[in-house]
Amino acid sequence: MQAISNHKAVVLKEEGITFPKGFKAGGMYCGIKKEKLDLGYIVSEVPATAAGVYTTNVFQAAPLVVTQESIAKEYKIKAVLVNSGNANSCTGEQGIKDAAEMQKAFAGQLGIPEHLVAVTSTGVIGELLPMEKIHTGIDQILNEENAAEANFMQAILTTDTSVKHIGVQMKIDGKTVSIGGAAKGSGMIHPNMATMLGFITTDANIAHEDLLFALKDVTNQTFNMITVDGDTSTNDMVLVLANGLAENDPLTKNHPDWDLFVNGLKKVSEELAKKIARDGEGATKLIEVTVDSAKTQEDASIVGKSIISSSLVKTAIFGTDANWGRIVTAIGYSGVQVQPNAIKVAIGPYQVFENGLPCPFNEAEVKNYLEQETIQIYVELNQGDQTATAWGCDLTYDYVKINGSYRT
Mean pLDDT, residues 299-326: 94
pLDDT surpassing 80 at residue 133 = yes
| pLDDT tier at 240, thresholds 50, 70, 90 | very high
Are 142 and 180 part of one and the same domain?
A: yes
Q: What is the CATH number of the domain that holds 377?
A: 3.10.20.340
pLDDT surpassing 80 at residue 188 = no
Those residues whose C-beta lies under 8 Å from the C-beta of residue 199, and which sit 6 or more positions away, are 17, 42, 80, 82, 156, 181, 182, 183, 238, 239, 241
Please tell me the predicted confidence (pLDDT) of residue 159.
77
Mean pLDDT of the chain, nearest integer? 90
pLDDT surpassing 70 at residue 153 = yes
Are 238 and 323 part of one and the same domain?
A: no
Are 254 and 296 part of one and the same domain?
A: no
pLDDT surpassing 50 at residue 19 = yes
pLDDT surpassing 60 at residue 2 = no
pLDDT surpassing 70 at residue 181 = yes
Which of the listed residues 235, 253, 277 is the one where a domain comes to its end?
277
Residue range(s) defining the domain that contains residue 325: 286-404
More confident call, 51 vs 233: 51
Are 178 and 36 part of one and the same domain?
A: yes
Are 49 and 73 part of one and the same domain?
A: yes
| pLDDT tier at 203, thresholds 50, 70, 90 | very high
Are 160 and 34 part of one and the same domain?
A: yes
Share of the chain above pLDDT 90, in %: 78
Instruction: Count the domains in the chain.
Output: 2
Are 321 and 227 part of one and the same domain?
A: no
Which of the listed residues 226, 259, 277 is the one where a domain comes to its end?
277
Please tell me the predicted confidence (pLDDT) of residue 205.
98
More confident call, 3 vs 123: 123
Please tell me the predicted confidence (pLDDT) of residue 5.
39
Q: What is the CATH number of the domain that holds 201?
A: 3.60.70.12
pLDDT surpassing 70 at residue 81 = yes
Are 291 and 142 part of one and the same domain?
A: no
Are 354 and 241 part of one and the same domain?
A: no
Which of the listed residues 257, 277, 297 is the one where a domain comes to its end?
277
pLDDT surpassing 90 at residue 155 = yes
Are 175 and 120 part of one and the same domain?
A: yes
Are 75 and 183 part of one and the same domain?
A: yes
Please tell me the predicted confidence (pLDDT) of residue 284.
86
Are 240 and 293 part of one and the same domain?
A: no
Please tell me the predicted confidence (pLDDT) of residue 124.
87
Specify the pTM: 0.84
Mean pLDDT, residues 191-197: 58
Please tell me the predicted confidence (pLDDT) of residue 394.
85
Q: For residue range 326-382, list pLDDT tens digits in order.
A: 999 999 999 999 999 999 999 999 999 999 999 999 999 999 999 999 999 999 999
Q: Which residues are catalytic?
A: 195
